[in-house]
Amino acid sequence: MKIQQVRRLGLSILVIFQVLTYADTPELDMDMSIYGFGADSTQVYALKGGMRFGVEAKGKITKTLSYHGKMNIFFEEGTHTALNNSSYATATTYGIEEAEVIWQPLDFFKFNIGVHLIDIDHAPLFINAPSLGLGQTIDLVDYDNFELTVFARQNVVSVNSTQSRTGKIGDRAAYYMLGGIHSKVMTSPFNLYFDYNYFSYEKLSAPLAETSRFRGNTVTGTGDSASFFNDYKGHDISGAIEFFFLLHKIKFFAEYLNNSESKDTGLLFGTKLSLTKNHALRFDTFENEADTLPAISVSPSYGGTNREGQRASYIYNEGTSTITIDYYKMNTIDSSIYQDDLQILSLEYSMDV
């Protein structure tokens, strides 16, 4: 027994020594932003300003093991009144945007565990909240001008909000599964992007249903008896093509979201035009029916579900600084006592520190 204990101790010391001697000094990046935000409807009113500090760290632990994390700290002041929807509430808080340990035993295969953010620029109607889970990624093709990746994930369900997109785990039993494809083609005249995601939500709870009721979903019962009327299993398909003309750049993008259980769909079309090196404009038009996704997973900037409307943005870049102005105007698709027409205006100045 003593010999076995000595062997285990020796092996543990060897592993710790290998980690300590191989591990890199973390690469640290910091950024900050100052912002103002307003949302206005008969159901909710919010007017707030704040400051955000972000810290990102990444590095190697061993030859095959690495880590990546980003957290945000928010300080906000303002006013918020709402009948039921707390999506736009003022808060002083912190949140994890990403915190993952990545194991890569082969050049083309990665396994990651931790908090992961799904953030596809040309698919803003899709899941958009940091969530804890497991993921696997296989790079089928990885060239300088062409990428093709397949992936699968299982995440717990998080509740989205305007406070940093911080995920708040509402119920440990609720989770969703994802599987899909990501592809990118890069050439001198244009870039082409394509993403396909299959999603399936399981064990959605009464608290999640009660929150989603006020953001657009069809929910039966109240309180502890609340439940989603539909299951959520379906597809999200999105793509973009980007053309280059000297200092100008124009990007067209589209998204199709479908819940095969409820037959509800979401559609989005948009364009982003870089007028000069520093100035850019973005325009979206979208329609997202009531039960495409659990509304807690959808960005509050797009009003949850049961929404149709437009987005207009102006972006100014100068070095490491960016000014962004976003305006959203949305109507309800189906009449609801919990939702009505909504307008959102936000202004943000961000910079790398």
**Domain harbouring 212, CATH code:** 2.40.160.100
CB 211 within 8 A of CB 179: no
Give the tens place of pLDDT for each residue, 232-278. Answer: 999 999 999 999 887 689 999 999 999 999 999 999 999 999 988 89
Give the tens place of pLDDT for each residue, 303-330. Answer: 999 999 999 999 999 999 999 999 999 9
Can you give the pLDDT at residue 167? 42
Extended beta strands in the chain, E state: 27-40, 44-60, 65-82, 93-106, 109-116, 131-142, 146-156, 158-159, 168-169, 175-186, 190-202, 219-220, 227-228, 233-245, 248-259, 265-274, 279-288, 307-318, 321-332, 342-352
Distances 347 to 34, 75, 242, 259, 281 between C-alpha atoms, Å? 8, 16, 26, 33, 14
Can you give the pLDDT at residue 25? 75
CB 254 within 8 A of CB 238: yes
* Inside any domain, residue 53: no
User: First CA to last CA across the chain, in angstroms?
Assistant: 55
CB 310 within 8 A of CB 329: yes
* Inside any domain, residue 184: yes
CB 243 within 8 A of CB 250: yes
Comparison of pLDDT for 10 and 156, the residue scoring more: 156
* Inside any domain, residue 296: yes
* Inside any domain, residue 263: yes
Bridge partners of 75?
Answer: 51
CB 37 within 8 A of CB 72: no
Min mean pLDDT across 85-94, 131-140, 343-352 is at: 85-94
Q: Which of these, 201, 199, 215, lies nearest to 126 by C-alpha position?
A: 199
Read off the pTM.
0.86
Residues 6 or more apart from 343 whose CB is under 8 A from it? 39, 40, 41, 327, 328, 329, 330
Alpha-carbon distance 273 to 28, whole Å? Answer: 32
224: which DSSP letter?
G
* Inside any domain, residue 240: yes
Min mean pLDDT across 53-57, 82-86, 320-324 is at: 82-86
* Inside any domain, residue 7: no
* Inside any domain, residue 44: no
Amino acid at 136: Q
Domain residues for the domain of 148 are 110-352
* Inside any domain, residue 172: yes
How many domains is the chain built from?
Answer: 1
Can you give the pLDDT at residue 164? 42
Alpha-carbon distance 325 to 132, whole Å? Answer: 31
